[in-house]
Structure 1
């Protein structure tokens, strides 16, 4: 799916993900997927350049796995000079926790770069527990 490089694009992506996966994955997993997608698209809008046409590409893929569905989310944007980095936010800061949320709710995440930009992905494996210790860091 392609969404505008704007906060409205993040909202559209969250709603479509929730609508498409509501009857496929358990509610707790769906909540985590929506939260992580919101962080990834929000980060793309705030910190990265858009793809040509002023857009961000959002994708998800489900695969059967032992214990349920494995899900991968992927957000592709035009990239930024610094690239995604976990920050250590100040206690009163209102931002800087997005990648901690991604790391804490997903089984694993990463960044890939190609000639068009960068993709930040997060995978959810039913046999790998989320990492609440990462959520508490910072």
Structure 2
């Protein structure tokens, strides 16, 4: 039996207004692809991954790419930025810190997440399994 794969790829300029645009579009895709129960998690994961790329991996003249893919029971969000030298790592934060929780949120919401090098830059991804366990294993 063939597994249906659905995929969408969009490029966004490295600006703050790209984050809500990508978040809304990714959530819309989850609903359009028959996974409305994942829409809010997809929106939050997209927002966190794209915000990290914007803050730590963007260059003013290079687009950021958001890819969303549904294959079988897994919905995957990928964000690609042009700076490969900064690897994503969760960091310790205190209650007073304003930033630094993004990857902790990604880890808590996703089944798995990680990053991979590209010829130029890197891709950071997170996967959700619909109908299954949520959170790290």
Q: Which TM-score bucket, shorter chain as reference?
A: 0.7 to 0.9
Residue number in structure 1 paired with 2:129 = 125
Mind listing any 5+ residue stretches in structure 1 that lack a counterpart? 134-138
> Is 1:114 the equivalent of 2:122?
no
SS in 1 for 2:94: coil
Distance in 2 of aligned mates of 1:129 and 1:94:
29
Calculate the TM-score normalised by the size of structure 1: 0.83
Residue number in structure 2 paired with 1:9 = 18
Distance in 2 of aligned mates of 1:29 and 1:17:
10
Residue number in structure 1 paired with 2:7 = none
- 1:1-138 correspondence runs (5 A): 1-50=10-59, 53-65=61-73, 70-126=74-130, 128-131=132-135
| Post-superposition CA distance 1:15-34 (Å, at most 9, x none) | 21122322434443110010
| Large movers: runs of 4+ above 4 Å | none
Calculate the TM-score normalised by the size of structure 2: 0.83
SS in 2 for 1:22: helix
SS in 2 for 1:60: strand
> CA shift at 1:8, angstroms?
0.9
Question: Structure 1 stretch 73-82 or stretch 56-65: which is displaced more?
Answer: 73-82
| Post-superposition CA distance 1:65-106 (Å, at most 9, x none) | 3xxxx2000000012533111011111111100000001101
Question: Structure 1 stretch 83-92 or stretch 16-25: which is displaced more?
Answer: 16-25
Mind listing any 5+ residue stretches in structure 2 that lack a counterpart? 1-9
